[in-house]
């Protein structure tokens, strides 16, 4: 067995200093780290003053009953007021809040004044439907402005929302409606995906036939596609009919800082989905601060675009609450990146002059696969900061992103966080940090995180282990909805007094943090714990490879052996000798211990609906097992294609 928690095999020596013009005018300087280190709670109390409070808090953190935190507990605020009304009151009513781009090419822009009117009407509409503070509302929508309006209307009346990703099945929706005991569902007839209208309402109807969903009394339906949908009189209500007749002014009520803001379900690896609960004041403080700090947002001039779906936490925190609390102008795009052509995203960047872009490694690697010539056709010079989230970004994908999207000018910020953490936790700052491609590097000011070994002891620089958060933070999850025990067991039992949510990481020679993937995916090879991320990054650093997924397969000699699935870059051919070349390349980059035993070129990899690689299924393939649960897979045909390729895959020593 291994005596190291996780091996550190990769060295990356490229460095990128912050551009002088970003550094000179940065929202946050190195002084913030010092201020937060000297007085962490004072630092967060200061950040809370970014918000408008009906009753400003005098308390910062109540940690008397860990791990159940209360932040700013005696303060009162309205989250929707902070995201909308206060910007209008400050004279910015004419500023665009949302540039909406529909997939078919329709577009409209919504100013803060218009957002205020629409959120106010929607809040009255919810009240007319009997929604009261504390009632849960399920939202099952495409990526359209009404989704954001619906979330803000819920926040305005104090009704926690539970947004369910629009491509989830009726079953998944029913389970989530039942767990949260939602009383109202907000949906649409459908939305546009991949060039065609895709229905949503029928899944709601089906979900509501389940006994667990019996308490739902109203379904509010936005008309987006105009397609024919089934209708239940007395239960179903058109959004436009109900909202149009409401007053356009609404007085927001202030709620306690710990009032629940939303529940968001994460699937977890086993068992029923976990309803992650976030509350109001601490959450909004951290998402507002991190959006300001990590993207260096200048609300008067920047155009921000987060490409995530609003159904994921990234959409909650960096489409809705972070940007809007900061009075930002942002883009909301309904569709897929390749509809009607592979350059659609870059066309949108050009059209709106996007300055700050936030996306996921999976999208970046897909663009690498499609080829450099596609972004090269568009004017991307407006961009000034690029962000990444969702998975470790391989150094080569980071470099590609900076070079082909950022014109070799822009800082790239690799932001590590989770549904559970609510907001960004570990990330470089664009005007401060000398960036290392592929590393999230440093906990943000006010965040305490480190890497520990099996015993919970901090590892020395140059070693790997488990990523833990060692002090409470404002946007931390408060519990798992209805299941405090599961909250304790899942996050707080592995290491005494520390939060742990499953990621492996290492500290490099400078003490900077590199994320190494989920610890469940770590491979044990001849006594070494090897991270999937490092082997994948080594493969992606080969000029012919765009994307790689690596798993450990049971092996009689070495406990596990490394099995890699790779996608070739645009233009690269699967030539004779490529597999041997790749194996030699990994051995050179990481050492012979990390050399994959098998490498299989594939066209697609299995991904969750939020774009994360599902290594579990590849492990089933590598071990010739029946596939496990495939319900969270975006496209189940992918697995058939991979299995069809298998017999030719072996490349034994
Ligand atoms: C925001 C989000 C959380 C998991 C997390 C980790 C992975 C996210 C990452 C990253 C390496 C990054 N992850 N950002 N890994 N570097 N910058 O993605 O939330 O969907 O809950 O996923 O995603 O494994 O634990 P969520």
Residue of 359, 390, 420, 443 to mutate, ligand 1, most atoms within 8 A of C-beta: 390
Tokens, residue 650: 């072996």
pLDDT tens per residue, range 421-464: 999 999 999 999 999 999 999 999 999 999 999 999 999 999 99
Mean pLDDT of 623-646: 80
In this prediction, residue 635 carries a pLDDT of: 77
Place of tokens 């070079």: 403
Q: Which of 510, 509, 425 is nearest to 469 (CA)?
A: 425
Burial of 26 per CB tally in 10 Å (0-12, 13-18, 19+)? middle
Take atom 19 of ligand 1 and give the residue whose Cα is closest. Answer: 418
Mean pLDDT of 227-239: 97
Share of the chain above pLDDT 90, in %: 91
On the question of pLDDT at 649 being above 60, the answer is: no
Take atom 26 of ligand 1 and give the residue whose Cα is closest. Answer: 418
Domains, in order of start, for the chain: 110-253 (3.40.50.980), 542-648 (3.30.300.30)
Place of tokens 């460095």: 15
Calpha distance 124→540 (Å, rounded): 52
Calpha distance 243→158 (Å, rounded): 18
CA distance from start to end of the chain: 24
pLDDT tens per residue, range 160-170: 999 999 989 99
- Helix 40-48 / helix 281-294 crossing angle, nearest 10 deg: 90
Tokens, residue 597: 């035993």
Q: Which of 226, 32, 252 is nearest to 123 (CA)?
A: 252
Q: pLDDT band for position 144 (50/70/90)?
A: very high
On the question of pLDDT at 651 being above 70, the answer is: no
DSSP type of residue 325: H
Give the residues across from 218 on adjacent strands.
Answer: 184
Task: Check: CB of residue 604 under 8 Å from CB of residue 24.
Answer: no
pLDDT tens per residue, range 257-272: 999 999 999 976 556 8
In this prediction, residue 1 carries a pLDDT of: 41
Closest ligand 1 atom, residue 416 Cα: 17
pLDDT tens per residue, range 187-232: 999 999 999 999 999 999 999 999 999 999 999 999 999 999 999 9
Strands 236-238 and 218-222: parallel
- 129: Cβ contacts below 8 Å, ≥ 6 apart: 184, 217, 218, 220, 237, 242
pLDDT tens per residue, range 32-50: 999 999 999 999 999 999 9
Residue of 358, 365, 416, 537 to mutate, ligand 1, most atoms within 8 A of C-beta: 416
In three-state form (DSSP H/G/I as H, E/B as E, the rest C), the secondary structure along 520-542 is HHCEEECCEEECHHHHHHHHHCC
Cα of 63 vs centre of ligand 1, distance in Å, is 26
Q: Which residues line ligand 1 (CB under 6 A)?
A: 266, 312-314, 389-392, 414-419, 440, 501-503, 515, 518, 610
Residue 239 three-state SS? helix
Mean pLDDT of 112-135: 98
Mean pLDDT of 613-617: 93
- Which value, in Å, is the radius of gyration of the alpha carbons in the chain? 24
Residue 124 three-state SS? helix
Task: Check: CB of residue 491 under 8 Å from CB of residue 67.
Answer: yes
Residue of 515, 519, 611 to mutate, ligand 1, most atoms within 8 A of C-beta: 515
Closest ligand 1 atom, residue 266 Cα: 21
Q: Binding site residues for CoA, as ranges? A: 193-196, 314, 338, 526
Give the residues across from 109 on adjacent strands.
Answer: 99
Take atom 11 of ligand 1 and give the residue whose Cα is closest. Answer: 392
In this prediction, residue 269 carries a pLDDT of: 54
On the question of pLDDT at 75 being above 60, the answer is: yes
pTM of the model: 0.96
Query: Average pLDDT over the chain, rounded to whole?
Result: 95
Q: How many CA atoms lie within 13 A of 38 on its CB side?
A: 5
For 133-142, 305-314, 627-636, which range has the lowest pLDDT when averaged over its residues? Answer: 627-636
Tokens, residue 461: 């620089």
Calpha distance 151→144 (Å, rounded): 12
Q: pLDDT band for position 140 (50/70/90)?
A: very high
Take atom 22 of ligand 1 and give the residue whose Cα is closest. Answer: 418
pLDDT tens per residue, range 491-508: 999 999 999 989 999 999
Q: Binding site residues for ATP, as ranges? A: 390-392, 414-419, 503, 518
pLDDT tens per residue, range 518-567: 999 999 999 999 999 999 999 999 999 999 999 999 999 999 999 999 99
Place of tokens 């803000």: 152
Determine phi and psi for 78, rounding to 5 degrees: -115, 120
Closest ligand 1 atom, residue 610 Cα: 20
- Rounded-to-10 torsion of CA 521, 492, 473, 268: 40
Mean pLDDT of 280-286: 99
Calpha distance 334→406 (Å, rounded): 23
Q: pLDDT band for position 652 (50/70/90)?
A: very low
């Amino acid at each position: 067995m291994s005596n190291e928690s996780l091996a550190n095999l990769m060295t990356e020596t490229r460095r990128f200093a912050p551009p002088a013009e970003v550094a000179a005018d940065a929202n946050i300087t190195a002084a913030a780290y010092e201020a937060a280190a000297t007085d962490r709670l004072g630092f967060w109390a200061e950040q809370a003053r970014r918000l408008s409070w009906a009753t400003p808090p005098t308390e910062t953190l109540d940690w008397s009953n860990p791990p159940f935190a209360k932040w700013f507990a005696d303060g009162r605020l309205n989250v929707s007021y902070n995201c909308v009304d206060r910007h209008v009151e400050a004279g910015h009513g004419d500023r665009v809040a949302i540039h909406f781009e529909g997939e078919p090419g329709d577009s409209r822009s919504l100013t803060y004044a218009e957002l205020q009117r629409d959120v106010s009407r929607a809040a009255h509409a919810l009240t007319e439907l009997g929604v009261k503070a504390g009632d849960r509302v399920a939202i099952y929508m495409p990526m359209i402005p009404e989704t954001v309006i619906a979330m803000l209307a819920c926040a305005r009346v104090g009704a926690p929302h539970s947004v369910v990703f629009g491509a989830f099945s009726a079953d998944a929706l029913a389970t989530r409606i039942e767990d949260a005991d939602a009383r109202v569902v907000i949906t649409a007839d459908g939305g546009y995906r991949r060039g065609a209208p895709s229905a949503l309402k029928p899944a709601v109807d089906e979900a509501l036939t389940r006994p667990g969903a019996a308490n739902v009394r109203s379904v509010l339906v936005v008309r987006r596609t105009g397609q024919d949908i089934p209708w239940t009189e007395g239960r179903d209500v058109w959004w436009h009919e109900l909202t149009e007749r409401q007053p356009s002014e609404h007085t927001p009520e202030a709620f306690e800082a710990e009032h629940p803001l939303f529940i968001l379900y994460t699937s977890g690896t086993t068992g029923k989905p976990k309803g992650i609960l976030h509350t109001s004041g601490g959450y909004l403080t951290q998402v507002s601060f991190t959006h300001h700090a990590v993207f260096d947002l200048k609300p008067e001039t920047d155009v921000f675009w987060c490409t995530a779906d609003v159904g994921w936490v990234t959409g909650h925190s960096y489409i809705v609450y972070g940007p809007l609390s900061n009075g930002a102008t942002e883009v909301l795009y309904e569709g897929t990146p390749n509809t009607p052509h592979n350059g659609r995203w870059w066309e949108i960047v050009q059209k709106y002059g996007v300055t700050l872009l936030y996306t996921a490694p999976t999208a970046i690697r897909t663009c690498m696969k499609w080829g450099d010539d596609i972004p090269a056709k568009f004017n991307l010079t407006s961009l000034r900061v690029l962000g990444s989230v969702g998975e470790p970004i391989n150094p080569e994908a980071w470099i590609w992103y900076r070079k082909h999207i950022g014109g070799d000018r822009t800082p790239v910020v690799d932001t590590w966080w989770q549904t559970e953490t609510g907001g960004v936790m570990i990330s470089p700052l664009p005007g401060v940090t000398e960036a290392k491609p592929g590393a999230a590097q440093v906990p943000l000011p006010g965040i305490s995180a480190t890497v520990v070994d099996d015993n919970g002891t901090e590892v020395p620089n140059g070693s790997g282990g488990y990523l833990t958060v060692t002090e409470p933070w404002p946007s931390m999850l408060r519990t798992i909805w209805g299941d405090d025990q599961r909250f304790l067991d899942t996050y707080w039992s592995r290491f005494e007094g520390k939060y742990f949510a499953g990621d492996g990481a290492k500290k490099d020679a400078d003490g900077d943090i590199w994320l190494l993937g989920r610890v469940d995916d770590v491979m044990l090879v001849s006594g070494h714990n090897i991270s999937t991320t490092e082997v994948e990054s080594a493969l992606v650093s080969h000029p012919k490879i765009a994307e790689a997924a690596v798993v450990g397969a049971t092996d009689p000699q070495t406990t596990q052996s490394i099995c890699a699935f790779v996608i070739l870059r645009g233009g690269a051919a699967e030539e004779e000798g490529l597999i041997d070349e790749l194996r030699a390349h990994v051995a050179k980059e990481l050492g012979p211990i990390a050399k994959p035993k098998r490498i299989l070129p594939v066209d697609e990899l299995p991904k969750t609906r939020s774009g994360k690689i599902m290594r579990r299924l590849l492990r089933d393939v590598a071990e010739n097992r029946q596939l496990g649960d495939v319900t969270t897979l975006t496209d189940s045909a992918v697995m058939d294609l991979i299995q069809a390729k298998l017999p030719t895959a072996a490349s034994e020593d």
